[in-house]
Amino acid sequence: MKKVTPQPNWHKSWKYSYPYDLWEIYGDTSSNLGYVYAYANRFKQTLDLVQKIAKPGAKVLDVAAAQGNFSLSLAELGYEVTWNDLREELIDYVKLKWEHGQIHYVAGDIFTINFESLFDVILINEVIEHVAHPDQFLIKIAQMLKPGGYIIMSTPNGEYFRNRLPKFSNFTDTSQFETVQFQPDAEGHI
């Protein structure tokens, strides 16, 4: 994966994404050390798990892939990856970092996209905490999976000692969260 250099004419979402690349991919530990190490651990575990359950060439869908770090890394390992995110303008940012491997780009809301074929592996890393209806989201994801395929999901929320978020089961009607779902970063955690 190529390292990019920020440019003044970059789109706002690219400028927003770049500091995360510094921490997540380029290993900048000058600030936010806890985040850097926690992310590196989740990143490595995810790549290791994909390699255990699917051979190179397998079709992988990376949902809400943002700056494409999982997509790019898996493509470089030989997987056929489909990058997805709501923010279409991030496609060109991901392409700046691309070196080799097969990546398809499908921008849009995963609830409304109809793919032509099913996937061997679907990544939903750092996504579920941004969805107002996680039950419906998981049903939709499962419908895009080949029989015997795998869904890999992670969330930074977990049992983190500072986590003050309510549990999904505390709400009978989660539609109240629809106006804030799909927001990037911790401000969009539901």
pLDDT in tens, 44-68: 999 999 999 999 999 999 999 999 9
Q: How far is CA 160 from the centre of its chain?
A: 20
**Contact at 8 Å (CB) between 125 and 66?**
no
What is the residue-averaged pLDDT of the chain?
88
* pLDDT, tens digit (0-9, with 9 covering 90-100), for 87-100: 999 999 999 999 99
**Comparing 34 with 10, which gets the higher pLDDT?**
10
In a domain, 121, yes or no: yes
pLDDT computed for residue 70 by the predictor: 97
Is 2 inside any structural domain?
no
What is the sign, positive or negative, of the torsion defined by CA atoms of 31, 10, 71, 118? positive
Number of domains, the chain: 1
| Confidence (pLDDT) at 112 | 93
Q: Is the residue at 118 inside a domain?
A: yes
Percent of the chain whose pLDDT exceeds 90: 63
pLDDT tens track for 149-169: 999 998 775 555 566 666 667
pLDDT computed for residue 154 by the predictor? 86
User: Is 6 among the domain residues?
Assistant: no
**Confidence (pLDDT) at 98:** 97
Tell me the mean pLDDT in the region 16-38: 86
Which CATH number goes with the domain that contains 120?
A: 3.40.50.150
Closest CA to 129 of 186, 45, 172: 186
pTM of the predicted model as reported, rounded to 2 decimal places: 0.86
pLDDT above 60 for 185: no
Question: Domain for residue 63, yes or no?
Answer: yes
Residue-level pLDDT at 36: 85
Look at residue 188 and tell me whether its pLDDT is greater than 70. no
Q: Is residue 178 part of a domain?
A: yes
What's the confidence (pLDDT) of residue 123? 97
What range defines the domain where residue 118 resides?
Answer: 12-188
